Amino acid sequence: MQSINPMKLLQAKAALDRFKAEHPKLPLFFQAVRESAIEPGTVVEINVTTAQGRRLSTNLKLSESDMELIREMKEMAE
């Protein structure tokens, strides 16, 4: 397994902090979703509109195996 470069980690944290400062509603939205909307059968939809007006959209319905992956990722973050 490759080791993590501490300087890259610090740079990523600084970039994440800037992102949170520029988009303060997004972390709050993700927190609300994490606390009350993540369960099998939940549909997650993502829409992106480019600066030129092109719209890209997709969705997925969370399955039990998706839930297992989410649980594992949460454990890794603790």
Provide the pLDDT for residue 78.
75
pLDDT higher than threshold 70 for residue 70: yes
| Average pLDDT in the chain | 92
pLDDT computed for residue 44 by the predictor = 95
pTM of the model: 0.67
Residue 1 has pLDDT above 90, yes or no: no
What's the average model confidence in pLDDT over 4-13?
Answer: 90
C-alpha to C-alpha distances, 63 to 10, 14, 32, 53, 58, nearest whole angstrom? 34, 34, 20, 32, 16
pLDDT tens column, 40-58: 999 999 999 999 999 999 9
Strands (E), the chain: 43-49, 55-61
